[in-house]
Amino acid sequence: MADTLPTGLPSTIHKDALTVSGASSHSKALVERLLEQDRESNHCFYGPGFHNHLSHHLLAAYDLGAPSSLIQAIYDEEKHGLNSVFTADRPNKTVERQNLHIGVDTWTHYLGQEKYYANYLEFFSDEVRRLGPKPAYQHYVFSEDANIGKAHMTERFVGGALHPLIQMGYAIEFGSDVMIAQALAQTAVHEAFEPGLFPWSSESVDDGPAVDISANGQRAATSKDEHTLLSILRETYRSDIMTPVLPYDPDALLSARRKAAFTPARVSEIRRLTMLWHLSAFATPAQLAQKTEELFFVAALLFAGVGRPGRKERLDFFLMHVLTSTVFVPNLVGALDGATAQKRLLEAVLSVVLAYVLLRGRPRIDCELIMSYTASPRPDGAQLIPTPGALGEPATKPDEYINPWPTLLAHVLPARDAHTLKALRTLYVGAQRYGTIPAGAVRGAVDSRGEETHAGAKRLDGSVFVRAAGALVRVMGWVGPGEGGGQKEGSWDRSALGWDEAWDEED
């Protein structure tokens, strides 16, 4: 039996302009070859239920200018322990190709079953050829046929800590038809993420006047058009219904937290909160761009702005996935034809964001805390030599004269954990897009009454992204070469840091 699965689709990737210069014809050909080896040989799951991040790591590194030797090192490190594409029983490590043909009339019959991943990869490769890449993405994730009954392909797409969405995001961003088939196959074998949670659920609340829960629990009608993600997050914090499950259990698995948290009342409340983020059926590109701008800022704040003043910085593992998925939302929205599918995607993303806020103990963003972080991060102990041939005073006033991003990249590109690189890439893109936004101009920082949506929100500006990037490298380590570098790799926080009790132990 062959141990690989050729798809018959081209392995080429294309992106008009990479985020950071550094790619070469050799590194591009290498990435394409390694992606093909991973795709044809490896399953999307491995171990006790982990996701295969190899393609993510390769493309993130390539996009940020990694040289060929580093790209090869990433592959050589991460290929170990992955499961065969034909894995039939992951816990028992059974490898057996399934003698099954999946077709357009039967494709919904085997959803959620990992052993059919290779069969779905074959099926969706055929469908990408038949329909075209972007139409296949839209049809098999957002169409009525893909969501009728218990198919729930949209809910599967945002399941698994958003990994199918992330896989599709790479496919769209790097113009890879075969990765679209790969992402659809991954979506098909995921469980649906809490189907009742989303606004289109058959159990959904009325789409009538939006309601605002004030601090004293009173409800008052308010226009949906007033709400931004920051104001919706404020309502999430004010809502008694969204109070996290008590008592706090430091050892609870995410599955146990989900079971305890997703009561009918909380599920209904998340639907209601999601519907406050109103998107017209005739949304313009400018309106869609505003939505993604809001998402970038909120994702950065949930990633690096939910710690406690005076305490060691922590970065939540699951809220990190909210950040790393955000970078793909503009392209994923742009690849869809029509506001109906675009609206469904944005609502799906917000529902999952609010769900993870609940599951992590409803951590509160602290705008003043994140703005207290340096906007010129560099390793402690790094010595700056005199620069007589340079303009200005970069050696004595580095915060004023040195761009911090090249240093951050030098320490994150060789990081072992793919998530570290993926997080920095999102923050880098966020800074490219929104770094020039001044204080007071961040969407939703001030509500229609002129009040801050969160304490200190008026101070927020486009430097949020570089400040968050500094927190990332301080937590995960300045692992690159040079003075102040060479640190050991750090770790993500899994304590569910929104609960006060998660902070009881000393740093």
pLDDT tens, per residue, the chain with 507 residues: 467 888 889 999 999 999 999 999 999 999 999 999 999 999 999 999 999 999 999 999 999 999 999 999 999 999 999 999 999 999 999 999 999 999 999 999 999 999 999 999 999 999 999 999 999 999 999 999 999 999 999 999 999 999 999 999 999 999 999 999 999 999 999 999 999 999 998 654 443 333 333 333 333 333 445 799 999 999 999 999 999 999 999 999 999 999 999 999 999 999 999 999 988 877 889 999 999 999 999 999 999 999 999 999 999 999 999 999 999 999 999 999 999 999 999 999 999 999 999 999 999 999 999 999 999 999 988 888 888 899 999 988 989 999 999 999 999 999 999 999 999 999 999 999 999 999 999 999 999 999 999 999 999 999 999 999 999 999 999 999 988 899 999 999 999 999 999 999 998
Q: For residue 416, is it within any domain?
A: no
* CA-CA-CA-CA torsion sign (360, 365, 370, 372): negative
Could you tell me if 153 and 195 are in contact, meaning their C-beta atoms sit under 8 angstroms apart? Answer: no
C-alpha to C-alpha distance for 47 and 91, rounded to whole angstroms: 7
CA distances from 164 to 183, 189, 272 (A): 6, 10, 25
The range of the structural domain enclosing residue 73 comes to: 25-193
Residue 2: per-residue pLDDT:
66
Residue 278: per-residue pLDDT:
87
C-alpha to C-alpha distance for 237 and 211, rounded to whole angstroms: 14
DSSP 107-175: GGGGTT-GGGHHHHHHHHHHHHHHH-HHHHHHHHHHSSTTTSTT--HHHHHTHHHHHHHHHHHHHHHTT
Nearest to 378 by CA among 483, 280, 253, 269: 483
Residue 318: per-residue pLDDT:
98
* CA-CA-CA-CA torsion sign (220, 223, 228, 229): positive
CA atoms within 13 A on the CB side of 263: 10
Residue 1: per-residue pLDDT:
46
Q: H-helix or E-strand containing 76?
A: helix 68-78
A 10 A CB-CB count for 214 gives: 10
- Strands 94-95, 87-89: pairing kind: antiparallel
Could you tell me if 230 and 445 are in contact, meaning their C-beta atoms sit under 8 angstroms apart? Answer: yes
Q: For residue 495, is it within any domain?
A: no
Q: For residue 247, is it within any domain?
A: no
CA atoms within 13 A on the CB side of 353: 29
Q: For residue 152, is it within any domain?
A: yes
Under 8 Å CB-to-CB from 29, ≥6 apart: which residues? none
Nearest to 196 by CA among 274, 131, 281: 274
Amino acid type, 383: Q
C-alpha to C-alpha distance for 222 and 79, rounded to whole angstroms: 52
Q: For residue 127, is it within any domain?
A: yes
Q: For residue 60, is it within any domain?
A: yes
pTM strictly above 0.85: yes
Residue 217: per-residue pLDDT:
37
Amino acid type, 333: V
DSSP 477-489: ---SSSTT--PPP
C-alpha to C-alpha distance for 81 and 52, rounded to whole angstroms: 10
Residue 202: per-residue pLDDT:
62
Q: For residue 79, is it within any domain?
A: yes
Residue 479: per-residue pLDDT:
97
In this predicted model, what pLDDT tens digit does every residue of 52-68 receive, in sequence order?
999 999 999 999 999 99
DSSP class of residue 457? G
* CA-CA-CA-CA torsion sign (431, 435, 439, 441): negative
Nearest to 60 by CA among 103, 100, 23, 12: 23
Q: For residue 238, is it within any domain?
A: no
Q: H-helix or E-strand containing 221?
A: strand 219-222
C-alpha to C-alpha distance for 417 and 324, rounded to whole angstroms: 13
Could you tell me if 3 and 166 are in contact, meaning their C-beta atoms sit under 8 angstroms apart? Answer: no
Residue 204: per-residue pLDDT:
43
Class of residue 104 by CB neighbours under 10 A (exposed 0-12, middle 13-18, buried 19+): exposed
- Tokens matching residue 471: 């927190």
- Tokens matching residue 306: 């939910």
- 100 conformational bin, left if phi > 0, alpha if psi -120 to 50, beta if neither: beta
C-alpha to C-alpha distance for 217 and 464, rounded to whole angstroms: 32
DSSP class of residue 458? G
Give the total number of structural domains in the chain: 1
CA atoms within 13 A on the CB side of 76: 7
